Amino acid sequence: GAVVSQHPSWVICKSGTSVKIECRSLDFQATTMFWYRQFPKQSLMLMATSNEGSKATYEQGVEKDKFLINHASLTLSTLTVTSAHPEDSSFYICSAREAGTVMNYGYTFGSGTRLTVV
Amino acid sequence: QKEVEQDPGPLSVPEGAIVSLNCTYSNSAFQYFMWYRQYSRKGPELLMYTYSSGNKEDGRFTAQVDKSSKYISLFIRDSQPSDSATYLCANLPRRGGYNKLIFGAGTRLAVHP
């Protein structure tokens, strides 16, 4: 089955530094990847949608200069949290979708990254 | 009104019970309906999906969709402690935003021995 690898699984960083999270589709080409944020006991909040080779589309209220998304290849998307602050501490999850499908390889989620900013 | 409404629970049941999880949705353009299971500190995993009204069964799980009332359900038979997780319903519109899942709030389920 489709596998999406996300790492690191957890990271602790100092306030003011930047953190990069990687999301890779291992056995399919992901033309679209999604980045979510999840607070404890809450549902997933979509942050942005990225299509390979083009700029990401950010949801309302998400700062694009703070959450930099790069989707340079069909198997890799990265989310960089720039100048992280404690309020950015959260669980970040990526999801990848293969072109031309709704299910099967579509919408496979990574295992998430727990970011703690101290 | 949210596009997908789901009671967050928590729902606590004894082992072996039949569990019923439900969502309602408001957008009649939704065509695909999914249930995801999410264990604590993990990404969601797809349990079941369907695109038509009626029932779809997979082992102990049954997904049910009633498009006329915009109501979707997930039934878990013979529930096990390993079923303890958060269950998220998700919908996809037919077109125009086709690639963006719309999630419910998620229902936390605890199955105790």
pLDDT in tens, B45-62: 999 988 888 999 999 999
In chain A, the percentage of residues whose pLDDT exceeds 70 is 92
Q: How many CA atoms lie within 13 A of B3 on its CB side?
A: 14
Please compute the mean of the pLDDT values over residues A16-21 and round it to a whole number.
98
Q: Is B21 on the interface with A (CB under 8 A)?
A: no
Three-state helix/strand/coil letters over B39-95: CCCCCCEEEEEECCCEEEEECCEEEEEECCCCEEEEEECCCCHHHCEEEEEEEEECC
Taking the CA of residue A42 and the nearest CA in chain B, the distance in Å comes to: 7
B88 contacts in A (CB within 8 Å)?
Answer: 43-44
Taking the CA of residue B105 and the nearest CA in chain A, the distance in Å comes to: 5
| A residues 7..26 contacting B (CB < 8 A) | none
CB contact under 8 A, A43 and B99: no
Q: Which two tokens stand for residue B87?
A: 């269950």
User: In the prediction, which pLDDT does B95 show?
Assistant: 52
Q: Look at residue B3 and tell me whether its pLDDT is greater than 60.
A: yes
CB contact under 8 A, A42 and B105: yes
CA–CA gap between residue A42 and residue A44 (Å, rounded): 7
CB contact under 8 A, A110 and B34: no
Per-residue model confidence as pLDDT tens digits over A30-68: 888 999 999 988 889 999 999 888 889 999 999 999 999
In chain A, the percentage of residues whose pLDDT exceeds 90 is 69
A32 contacts in B (CB within 8 Å)?
Answer: 99
Identify from A3, A25, A43 which residue to disrupt to test chain B contact, counting B C-beta atoms within 10 A and taking the largest count. Answer: A43
CA–CA gap between residue A35 and residue A21 (Å, rounded): 10
Mean pLDDT of chain B: 91
Please compute the mean of the pLDDT values over residues A85-104 and round it to a whole number.
83
Using pLDDT thresholds of 50, 70 and 90, give the confidence band for residue A99: low
How many whole angstroms from its chain centre is CA A54? 16
Please compute the mean of the pLDDT values over residues B77-87 and round it to a whole number.
97
Q: Which two tokens stand for residue A92?
A: 């970040």
Please compute the mean of the pLDDT values over residues A15-36 and round it to a whole number.
92
User: In the prediction, which pLDDT does A105 show?
Assistant: 42
User: In the prediction, which pLDDT does A106 show?
Assistant: 53
Neighbours of B27 (CB within 10 A): 14
User: In the prediction, which pLDDT does A103 show?
Assistant: 57
B98: nearest CA partner in chain A: A102
Q: How many CA atoms lie within 13 A of A100 on its CB side?
A: 2
User: In the prediction, which pLDDT does A81 show?
Assistant: 97
User: In the prediction, which pLDDT does B71 show?
Assistant: 94
CA–CA gap between residue A79 and residue A69 (Å, rounded): 5
Neighbours of B40 (CB within 10 A): 10
E strand residue ranges, A1-118 = 4-7, 10-13, 19-25, 30-38, 45-51, 57-58, 67-73, 76-81, 90-98, 108-109, 113-117
Please compute the mean of the pLDDT values over residues B80-89 and round it to a whole number.
97
